[in-house]
Structure 1
Amino acid sequence: MTQRPQDKSTGAGPEQLREQVEETRQELGKTVEALAAEADVKAKAQEKAAQAKQQAAAKAEQLKAKASDVAHQVQDRLPDPVKDKAAQAAEQARARATQAGQLIQEKAPEPVRDKAAQGAQMARDNRGLLLAAAAGAALVWLVYRRKE
């Protein structure tokens, strides 16, 4: 292999060569950064995990909304006596939950109180679902009662 002598007719002075070297360094730095980003498996995994978490949260919100809609549809189809029984059952459940909450506040250790507060918050957040469940329980109770 023979090497060609460099063309000396380009007339590139030392300043132009320094500029070319600096530009080449900058391009090389950008290329190295891009390659490092591609090779950063941990960052990619974290990004994909965050995306999956967002998708799961969105899906959970959709399912929650759908469950609430179904609960309202079930409530709308129930006869008035069943609705009344469900409302009574819900009111009794609220009263009992209040009593239980007071007992927990008085006698339970701190970690148990924290968990109970979380459960109560979930119940408040899902009232429609709880009412539908109470209505369903009342309906089952009425059907079972009539068969006896």
Structure 2
Amino acid sequence: MEEQRIVDIFQTYREINQAFFQILSKAASKHNLTALQLVVLRVLHEYPEIRVSELAEKLNLGNSTTSGIVDRMVKADMVERERTKKDRRAMTLTLTDKGKALWRETDATRLNMMRPLLSLSEQDHRELSRLQNEVLRLLKQSKEEA
């Protein structure tokens, strides 16, 4: 019985995650991007002048995989690499004007596609947030103990 509760919780999160990813993919494809490129745009929007290694960490990808994605985005004029002023060997990533415009457009599309979530009442939203934070706390605690 307890095992089934765990499976149910996991399965629900998995289905929700898949639904979010499908919306993200659809929003990205409307702008001729991949879902991963859209996530890169978001991260670079939130963290201008980030290093490739930091981006890789935020994406939960390896440095070489992240570099490949960045290379394609540089060629498409969405992202530019710049040497840092402090350490001339280090490179940071920033959005180009094209990248910034793409971010604004795709973010608006994504938010519009997720608008149905606003039909949740304020109370349901608060309860959902509380429960998600509790699940996260319990999983982090379990990970630390393992």
Question: Is this a same-fold pair by TM over 0.5?
Answer: no
TM-score by length of 2: 0.30
TM-score by length of 1: 0.29
Q: Which has the larger radius of gyration?
A: 1
- Which structure has more RCO (C-alpha within 8 Å, separation ≥ 6)? 1
Answer 1 or 2: which has greater strand percent.
2
Answer 1 or 2: which has greater helix percent.
1
